[in-house]
Every structure is written in C-alpha cells, then in structure tokens.
Amino acid sequence: MNWIKPDWPLPEGVHAATTLRGGGASSGAYASLNPAAHVDDDPDHVETNRKIIRDMLQLPAEPVWLQQVHGTRVIKADQAQGLEQADASFTDQPGTVCAVLTADCLPVLFCGDHGGVIAAAHAGWRGLQAGVIERTLSAMSCQKVSVWLGPAIGPEHFEVGEDVREAFVADNAKAAEAFKATGPGKWLADIYHLARLQLAELGVEQIHGGAYCTVSDAQRFYSYRRDGATTGRMASLIWRD
C-alpha cells in the first residue's frame, strides 16, 4: 500500500491519509509518487501522480494544494482562489480535500466537533514556532478537536542551532525538554514533542501519531534533510463525505 492510514479514531465519514513515495510515475531523485509541482519534477509526472493519488484514495475532488511558505496563514479550503499562499487550510464542507506537502516538516491533521470541521497544517519549525497550530485551531473554532501528527524528521536526526532552541524556549520554558545537546550551540530537536506541548497548552487532549522518521526511512519517505533540495514530497490529506 502506497499510503498510510492514520492510527486515529475518526468519526464516520471522515477520512485521512499520508502518501508514501512508491507507486508513482516520477523517476530519479523524485521516484516515484511525488505530487509536488514546485520541486522541478517533470510536470507531466506530477499530474500523473496526483491522478494516481486521487484514484488510490478515492478522493471526492482534487485536493486544495497550497503554496507553502513556512508561515501561519490559514485559508478556508472550499473558498480557495487558485493556488493560495498559506500553510494550513480548513473546511466545514463535505467533498473538499485539505492537503499539505512535506518532506521532513510536520504535517498536522485536525478533526473538530465530531467531524464537522477538518483541517491540515504544514508545520516546519518556523511555522510551528510562529503559531501555525494555534492559528489553525482558531480558524476552526471548534469546542473539541483531535489531531494526528504525520511523518516528519525524527528526534535523532533534527539537528538545529541555538537560535532555534532559544526561539521555542522564549515562548515556553517547557520547550527545553524537546532539545538534547550534541555540542557547542548544537541541539537535537524533537518536533513531535514541541507540537504536542503546544497542542496540550491549547487544550487539545486527543493527540495521535508522531512515531515516524522521514530521514531514517528512505524506502517510504522523501527527506529534504537526507537528500537535499532535489527530492519529492508526501501529501497528507483529510476530507469528509
């Protein structure tokens, strides 16, 4: 199977998935199921891969793709006008597919109010620290939300500088728990721990996933940190009937 079905108790009629890198049309560094149009892959291959994903997941519509910029803008997916610059989308409408593309950054999927509102967010460390999760939850405006943390760079491979650690710790002293020193001014960061900490502080109790490492699993995942700029992306998607 060329996609992950999240281990996440969703209400009936709500569906979620993260695509893997096998089973597509792309070749070389992009092999093979790359749906990202911004990474210099052959456009025909990308379009073929997107069709494969639509068919494979039996999607009700083309996903609402975003021009992701490591920011905090959240759009209402069913009102999107073309390719919008944003790092999260939400919808309360059936048949709309929220999606984010990642290759080490953290994809976060949200399900609120028993499936009445769903969302997807792209949370690299910059977006995470800037508040993309908080902005997404605010846009959803739900009483109760559950979350799934999709495949991202694992805590043994995400080396960052002192500036990254200081940015998170300045926001919340508890964030220090997510960093392990590896040398002068160098730290291993646990992006899953940082996300869980933020979600808990924002009142989210149902947090699932967070057990992957894109860097160490080259067979299943693309990884920017491992492979450099020339690589594909996984798509994490959520939709409702």
Establish if 148 belongs to a structural domain.
yes
Helix and strand numbers (H, E) in the chain are 6, 15
What is the C-alpha end-to-end distance of the chain, expressed in Å? Answer: 22
For the chain, percent of residues with pLDDT exceeding 90: 100
Establish if 140 belongs to a structural domain.
yes
Q: Residue 95 has what pLDDT? A: 98
Could you read off the pLDDT of 182-233 as tens digits, one per residue? 999 999 999 999 999 999 999 999 999 999 999 999 999 999 999 999 999 9
* The two three-digit tokens of residue 135, written as one number: 């902005």
CA torsion sign for 162, 221, 120, 89 is positive
pTM for this entry = 0.98
Which domain range does residue 36 map to? 3-154+202-240
Domain harbouring 84, CATH code: 3.60.140.10
Average pLDDT over every residue of 115-143: 98
Establish if 187 belongs to a structural domain.
no
Average pLDDT over every residue of 10-28: 98
Instruction: Write phi, then psi, for 148 (nearest 5 degrees).
Output: -125, 130
Cis peptide before 32 (omega within 30 of 0): yes
Average pLDDT over every residue of 68-83: 98
**65/36 Cα distance (integer angstroms):** 9
Q: Is residue 194 within 8 Å of residue 171, measured between CB atoms?
A: no
Q: Residue 78 has what pLDDT? A: 98
For the chain, percent of residues with pLDDT exceeding 70: 100
Establish if 133 belongs to a structural domain.
yes
* The two three-digit tokens of residue 217, written as one number: 């699993």
Domain count, the chain: 1
Establish if 192 belongs to a structural domain.
no
Establish if 163 belongs to a structural domain.
no
* Bridge partner residues of 236 (DSSP): 18, 100
What is the per-residue burial (b if ≥16 Cβ within 10 Å, else e) of 11-25?
eeebbbbbbbbeebb
Q: Residue 18 has what pLDDT? A: 98
Neighbours of 59 (CB within 10 A): 18
